[in-house]
Amino acid sequence: MSKKLNIHCLQHVPFEGLGCIENWIQEHGHSLSYSTLYHNPKFPNLDTIDALIILGGPMSIHDEAKFLWLKDEKVFIKSAIDRRKKIIGICLGAQLISNVLGGNITDNEQKEIGWFPVSILDSNVAILNGYPKSFSVFHWHGETFSIPENAIRLMESEACANQAFLYNDRVVGLQFHLEVTDAAMKKMAFHERSELVKDTYVQTYDEIVSNTTFIKENNQLMFSLLDNLFK
């Protein structure tokens, strides 16, 4: 990858950051800027950025009355898509992308929090080159997105039918968190631990933070996705 990119990040809460994605950006010599929406909800001129990463957060895309910046964020994301920027949305970020593309965000049948496997539906999709057919990932969501019109459904899990999608070969939505490092996972679990009411697809705090088995593989898969998207 020779071209150096200006990558912009939309961050919704201080305890859900880029994780290993920041390492990838630094290793490739790309520049990084932020909209910290919880602190200073301003958005850049789209002419100044090449790509957009939209992070997760505990709020819902429906919480516009509580988080006044959500409406402006949706307009910004839709404009970035229309301007053909390359975009990755993670968890809430994926739901925001689905929403601005006409998808519906609804309560999932069950909450999915902790380490559970996802399965790839079509291994021939180029952006998933090198991915195994099934692998365990870190989940933290109670809502789910529908697959936008003209997007490809990429993955599913036992608890949630729609785990990932690809739109026009340049916009990716992931319901789960490949980006988490050990520290990032523990920070998220600590700040959102009130949601950890044990259920079929909800692990306990101790089960979550003691399981670092899959983090290295998840980060490698995140790097692979970034390489494939931005090549």
The CA–CA distances, whole Å, from 54 to 76, 80, 90, 227 equal: 11, 11, 6, 17
Residue 23 resides in a domain: yes
- Domain total of the chain: 1
Q: Give the separation between CA 132 and CA 125, rounded to whole angstroms.
A: 12
Q: Give the model's pLDDT for residue 61.
A: 98
Which tens digit of pLDDT belongs to each residue from 1-14?
568 999 999 999 99
Residue 11 resides in a domain: yes
Residue 204 resides in a domain: yes
Residue 139 resides in a domain: yes
Q: Give the separation between CA 61 and CA 78, rounded to whole angstroms.
A: 14
Q: Give the model's pLDDT for residue 2.
A: 65
Which tens digit of pLDDT belongs to each residue from 113-128?
999 999 999 989 999 9
Q: Give the model's pLDDT for residue 223.
A: 98
Domain assignment of residue 69, given as a range: 6-230
Q: Give the separation between CA 110 and CA 145, rounded to whole angstroms.
A: 13
Nearest Cα neighbor of 136 from 165, 159, 110 is 159
Q: Give the model's pLDDT for residue 1.
A: 55
Residue the block writes with tokens 């593309």: 101
Q: Give the separation between CA 229 and CA 117, rounded to whole angstroms.
A: 23
Residues in the chain: 231
Which tens digit of pLDDT belongs to each residue from 35-77?
999 999 999 999 999 999 999 999 999 999 999 999 999 999 9
Q: Give the separation between CA 193 and CA 196, rounded to whole angstroms.
A: 5
Q: Give the model's pLDDT for residue 123.
A: 87
Which tens digit of pLDDT belongs to each residue from 176-192?
999 999 999 999 999 99
Q: Give the model's pLDDT for residue 92.
A: 99
pTM, to two decimals: 0.97
Mark residue 82 as left, alpha or beta (left: phi above 0; alpha: psi -120 to 50; beta: remaining).
alpha
Residue 147 resides in a domain: yes
Which tens digit of pLDDT belongs to each residue from 136-179?
999 999 999 999 999 999 999 999 999 999 999 999 999 999 99
* Number of neighbouring beta carbons within 10 Å of residue 126: 10
Q: Give the separation between CA 58 and CA 67, rounded to whole angstroms.
A: 12
Residue 1 resides in a domain: no
Which tens digit of pLDDT belongs to each residue from 72-116?
999 999 999 999 999 999 999 999 999 999 999 999 999 999 999
Find the CATH number of the domain harbouring 193.
3.40.50.880
